[in-house]
Amino acid sequence: MITCDEAGNIVIRINNDAYDLSNSNQYADFLLWATSPVENAIPDEGATPDEDAAPDENEAPGKNSTIDADAFKVDDDIPEEHRAKASRYAEFLVEYAGRRQDKLTEMAKTLTTEQRENEIQAFIKRLKSEET
């Protein structure tokens, strides 16, 4: 959810985390979270630390990769003077989340390098067996 603090700074609250976008470190953490192509980078709500600790790089991306639809909803209680700014963030982030999910879905459809190599090796073996 997108809200603001007492000073009017935009704060994004996701799961149990809050990112104050006026704080450079928190802003960087938010960007790392939101742009990560790693499937478990975005934890499922209620997940235990073990479930999100180390993603399996051999699995296809996308398992836990969706960003909740309400993650970038503007808080109804945000003061009117900050609503336009929060709405611009929300519009951008919702569009970005959709593009990100499309890309992760596309990536999940492609084979890993190891899978491609195995298919090439199997093809070579079939060719060799047809020659004999």
Q: What is the pLDDT of residue 104?
A: 81
**More confident call, 94 vs 107:** 94
**More confident call, 112 vs 23:** 23
How many whole angstroms from its chain centre is CA 50?
19
Q: Which of 10-14, 106-110, 118-122, 126-130 has the highest mean pLDDT?
A: 10-14
Q: Smallest Cα–Cα separation from 104: which of 52, 64, 57? A: 64
Q: What is the pLDDT of residue 47?
A: 43
CA distance 94 to 47: 23
Contacts of residue 86, Cβ cutoff 8 Å, sequence gap at least 6 = 2, 3, 4, 10, 74, 75, 78
Amino acid of residue 59 = E
Mean local confidence (pLDDT), 76-96: 95
